[in-house]
């Protein structure tokens, strides 16, 4: 019996995967076929205001639909919050030197792959005008595994970004109401007011922290 236990322990030790290094997790992937629908499950950003706007105020579910035309990608971001939906057309993206470069020539997207998930991709967006980095974890699946979220959290840490926030998982856009033609119900207005109050508190903290850091290093 002791011999059997010893063999099992040895097998477990040999089969245990070595922890992934940051070099492995942040090695950019090749720009390949991105066309189709991507469900955005989590995000991380170094912008305190943006992070709290998404987390506290919007709490959105996001779908990104990507099409390709003459070696350029066009992405439409579908946003859903409080059963209200809005579509935003993102900038045209052109593959250049292993990255996707926006039509404005300033914003860039780098791609990272999860090690064991061929249908997941991580977009690292660099917005130069706002000096902001945003990391999106997207999958062709409507649901993802806890291990995949954990790996994404490690990727964000390796890139010196805050712990990612989970986004909404209500991907049923069939019964959406358009933003411009919608009047909030009493219940929705109450939820939005509560979110606005919480958002105002968090954004004030962001601004105070920014001012203190600016004063400290000025």
Beta bridge partners of 88: 77
Identify the residue with better confidence: 161 or 115: 161
pLDDT at 174: 86
Which of 201, 3, 167, 15 shows the shortest CA–CA distance to 81?
167
How confident is the model over 116-155, as pLDDT tens digits? 678 888 988 888 777 889 999 999 999 999 999 999 999 9
Q: Collapsing DSSP states into helix, strand and coil, what is residue 180?
A: helix
| pLDDT above 80: residue 16 | no
Q: What are phi and psi of 5, to 5 degrees?
A: -60, -40
Domains in the chain with CATH codes? 19-217 (2.40.128.20)
Q: What are phi and psi of 181, to 5 degrees?
A: -115, 20
């Amino acid at each position: 019996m002791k011999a059997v236990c010893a063999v099992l322990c040895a097998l477990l030790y040999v089969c245990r995967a070595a922890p992934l290094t940051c070099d492995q997790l942040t090695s950019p992937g090749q720009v390949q076929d991105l066309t189709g629908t991507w469900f955005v499950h989590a995000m991380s950003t170094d912008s305190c205001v943006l992070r709290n706007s998404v987390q506290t105020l919007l709490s959105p579910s996001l779908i990104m639909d990507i099409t390709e035309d003459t070696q350029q990608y066009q992405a439409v971001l579908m946003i859903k919050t409080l059963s209200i939906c809005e579509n935003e057309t993102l900038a045209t993206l052109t593959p250049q030197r292993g990255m996707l470069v926006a039509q404005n020539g300033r914003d860039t997207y780098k791609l990272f792959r999860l090690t064991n998930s061929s249908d997941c991709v991580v977009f690292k967006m660099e917005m130069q005008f706002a000096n902001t980095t945003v990391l999106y974890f997207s999958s062709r699946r409507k649901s993802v595994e806890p291990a995949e979220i954990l790996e994404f959290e490690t990727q964000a840490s390796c890139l010196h970004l805050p712990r990612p926030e989970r986004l909404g998982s209500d991907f049923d856009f069939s019964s959406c109401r358009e933003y411009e033609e919608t009047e909030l119900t009493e219940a929705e207005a109450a939820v939005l007011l509560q979110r606005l109050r919480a958002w105002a508190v968090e954004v004030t903290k962001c601004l105070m922290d920014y001012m203190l850091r600016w004063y400290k290093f000025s």
